[in-house]
Structure 1
Amino acid sequence: MSITMSDSSAYGEELMRERFEHLLKAYEKMALMVAEQEEFNAKIEDMALKLLSEKYDNEAYQAELFYRLSNCVEKVLHNKISITDLKTEYEEILEQTLKKECKAYERSCIENVKLKKRTEQATAYYASSSSEP
């Protein structure tokens, strides 16, 4: 009878040790996931601040364009600018706007490619980690 008890207690200890190791691995995995989530959140915050900054810059630029155009209209109304000067000013405004929009489009394309790559990597990572026991 004493042999059975000692075998049983050894089996119980081994089972507890295995459970503890499993819990420890699960905890380490969760700690890693929390760290990754915090890093991801920081990146999202940085991107949000960048977008807000770009929006503010864009709105300021649009206000500048509006005032430049309204200044041209005022000069035309008061006959203070010739048609050729008005055309030149208007073409400069259009050229600057197109350059700015092209740069913004290029940046957004680059960001979209980066985001797509990150999404694919994250999907692959979480698909592989969820299939692990």
Structure 2
Amino acid sequence: MTPPRKYLFLILLLLALFSSYNYIIYTDTSAYGAVRLSGKAVQGEKLWLDNNCHSCHQIYGLGGYLGPDLTNVYSFRKRDDKFLKSMFNSGIKAMPQFDFNETEKEELLQFLIEIDQTGQYPNTKAQIEADGWVKIENQNKTHE
């Protein structure tokens, strides 16, 4: 039978490794996959979160399933700002009606515009690497 001290040491070692790993992952400031939002878009993201839009809609496939994924809604709607702004307040089908003022609608729209500029979702050219990271091939690259 192994003494309890060995178990305690093993548990503490695993906790230290886990904590170190999480610190490295969540404080990484490299540009890999980073999305930088303007101040206006950050306010739009705040509205997005405060109004629980993520409970019904997805961005990059993350979120609810009641509404559509909005990652590239700005491109798909052919940049129809008026339509998107009207959707923010009027809703459609199960979407609730909101009472956003013009500034809030502009902020939400800017959030969706900047998310849209980060790429296409789903990316059918992406490959999952052995370590779990997504490897994205340059879509404009030509192979000789």
Relative to the length of structure 1, the TM-score reads 0.27
Higher strand share: 2
Relative to the length of structure 2, the TM-score reads 0.25
The structure whose Rg is larger is: 1
Query: Relative contact order (C-alpha < 8 Å, sep 6+): which is higher?
Result: 2
Higher helix share: 1
